[in-house]
Structure 1
């Protein structure tokens, strides 16, 4: 977190290093000619962390003290200048990813609040190292590998509380298929992986398509953020089956954050769509249809003429027999 202060309010000279956090080794620097800035990571320079039901709260104190003697004496009546600093991070966000992902990072920010980011990305294998590069066109039944990142915040962890798919980019679309619920995989092909860092969670699902007029699949996930040091948080409980849902976590948890990305499409369906596109394809599509139609008519006309010529020729070759010529005797 970074605090930018008006130099005039601090009443300092040119040395921005006279400003520091609780940890006096964390000093300020010149932001510009009129401002002084001071920066710290969330777990450095004496920064303290607290939590409530909606926020993760980081606090520190900026101090400036450079006493000057009073009236040439050896005493001073100047005070420390203390500036309390608070950075609130909202704990609830919504993340999403889709079968046709154009992955972007979702950064959450409010004025006078800090910021952090949640990002969901699709990978090409179960090692979750290389992002998928298939333009979102996938083959039904093949495994799809999704990973969710939490960045910019220390001592936090995340839980994939629920995931679902829709035929549109709207997470609230009634036409939906549930994948993960209460931290548990409910789709038979879904597997939630373990063994990754606290800020990176992953799951796998076999590719599918919606029945009917839906050529896209969007995946949405609801994410909870917890204190990694809180052994009673919702994130540490993981999957809550029906028999365990009555157990309420003792620690704090965030409200759900939802992100969405997509869409994914069936590769075979996409190929068919290229052959049978809609009339909304524009002038080029209309020109193509006209060219195909005219060409077909020309071929049909040519075949008709050829067949007519063949029939006429066959008739001429058979004409003597059809008329019934007979040899007659010659007389003198």
Structure 2
């Protein structure tokens, strides 16, 4: 009977979904059209509290949608379906989302053909803009996007959270009653190390749609919702998912109509299978990428070190006890990707062609990614059904240093430490990025001075959010891998022996004309968050006044003279003491003799006289 009810209910759900689909298409659909000149014209200015858009674009389009409404709320924008031209890249086709009323606002994110997620972006205010550009390839691009205004303070019971036990359960809001409209919930699951997660939905009932555009659940093989999408599901089913590591993220997103029961889910954890030989090892630096493979691991797959190659076959490994691929980030066929918030360098190790028509070996593909950001290192290994794919990613760091220079030519660095200067002397500072990637730009965001090397509570702003806070500071225009500025030696050095300088540095893609590195000073009224790839800080110091150097030299000379005079003084004091002891002894002897003599005379003077009576 239960199966019969589900069978009869499915056509009804499909009909409702089709009705909403047609409603969205007729009421909210925006299609790119062509003017009499043949130039694509599209986009719109939207002021609704919520709206769904079905967008269809052809080649050579550049369409801008602006969302703005006088609301004390934020905007959530969801691209639940997107289809770009095949083989397009982020450089040729993309959706760029800006946190503000125009494309001059801060870049929130970017969606491309290879985006491995359901993009969900949130504004910081009541305005948001997105721009869709397409290349010249003849193809119909289709997108479905909806947005709504929401209050971040609003909390929904059973909506998301952290799950850390070895197993557990969670449900959608209001389950088994209908879930609320405009719901966005995120559950982060993390189990013990060296385990994997199995997720099962015992009950699952969301709005039915062929592409799950309206209400959907997305599952990620990752700690975030930015990458690692395993699947997106809706309708009625009992889906199951399995992670490749001890982390998994689950998302529930709903629109404004046709709410159903939601879901009840359970997860369990199990040990990961033991690896065959040491795992591939990846290290990333500012200049290069290094991949180390064990021979035993390759042998277990039926390969030798002579059968592997990078994207560029001319880059050969160094073979010793292990197989080592080491190469600069911008060589050997490495693919560079700018996703609006970070830079990722990717290369692939795969078997070289042997000229045979067939093979009985397992297909091996090792994908190495260096992602330049400040997150923790992530390594992911998973096995597909037919092919063995070893996917290893690591977070790298750009090598940044800061030095003082003798002049504004920045040709000769100051090597002495401490750096002794005159009060009000002009000091020239340069932040240098050491990288082989020529398309990077350095921007000095903030610089503070402190008399303490750990930068405690006492600090002084020189630069803040790209704005000069000290009257003597002069910043130079960005010059690729260098950020430069000058300032006068601080007056508060009179009260402290040393001063240290710490600068927050942003690194951007120089090809992005709207990055944070090109915006310059951002006032406090504007939101100081924009597109940059990487952020770090660097410290230089100490700086000291030359009068402290002279005082130190004078103190040192006095100390040395005192040290030389000390033996003579000690010898003089010894002779003086000996002489005084001798004189004291003589005086004591004389006193004893005199006393004895006086006593002897007194005996005769007081002798009793005999009486004559």
Same fold (TM over 0.5): yes
CA distance in 1, matches of 2:298, 2:540: 46
CA distance in 1, matches of 2:515, 2:567: 65
- Does the 8 A contact of 2:343 with 2:533 survive in 1? no
Q: How far apart are residue 21 of structure 1 and its match?
A: 1.2
**One of 546, 551, 560 as aligned partner of 1:272:** 551
What is residue 191 of structure 1 aligned with on the other side?
474
Normalising by structure 1, we get a TM-score of 0.67
- Does the 8 A contact of 1:51 with 1:252 survive in 2? no
**One of 411, 426, 442 as aligned partner of 1:158:** 442
| Secondary structure of residue in 1 paired with 2:460 | strand
CA distance in 1, matches of 2:491, 2:293: 55
What is residue 421 of structure 2 aligned with on the other side?
138
Determine if the alignment matches structure 1 residue 258 to structure 2 residue 537: yes
| Secondary structure of residue in 1 paired with 2:518 | helix
What is residue 64 of structure 1 aligned with on the other side?
351
CA distance in 1, matches of 2:540, 2:532: 28
The answer for unaligned runs of 5 or more in structure 1 is 93-110, 299-332
What is residue 147 of structure 1 aligned with on the other side?
430
Larger radius of gyration: 2
Q: Deviations over 1:104-159 (max 9, x none)?
A: xxxxxxx9443431000111110001012554111111111110111125232221
Distance 1:42 1:191, change over 3 A: same
What is residue 330 of structure 1 aligned with on the other side?
none
Determine if the alignment matches structure 1 residue 23 to structure 2 residue 312: yes
| Secondary structure of residue in 2 paired with 1:144 | strand
Deviates more, 1:203-212 or 1:124-133: 203-212
Q: Deviations over 1:217-271 (max 9, x none)?
A: 111111112222222211111222456x34753x34534x222221110001321
| Secondary structure of residue in 2 paired with 1:165 | strand
Distance 1:24 1:80, change over 3 A: farther
What is residue 200 of structure 1 aligned with on the other side?
482
| Secondary structure of residue in 1 paired with 2:398 | strand
Aligned length in residues: 263
CA distance in 2, matches of 1:55, 1:223: 14
- Does the 8 A contact of 2:442 with 2:506 survive in 1? yes
The answer for unaligned runs of 5 or more in structure 2 is 1-288, 376-392, 574-613
Deviates more, 1:234-243 or 1:114-123: 234-243
**One of 26, 39, 64 as aligned partner of 2:326:** 39
**One of 464, 485, 491 as aligned partner of 1:181:** 464
What is residue 103 of structure 1 aligned with on the other side?
none
CA distance in 1, matches of 2:329, 2:521: 29
What is residue 371 of structure 2 aligned with on the other side?
88
Q: Choose between structure 1 and 2 for higher RCO, CA contacts under 8 A separated by at least 6 residues.
A: 1
CA distance in 2, matches of 1:231, 1:261: 30
- Does the 8 A contact of 1:91 with 1:254 survive in 2? yes
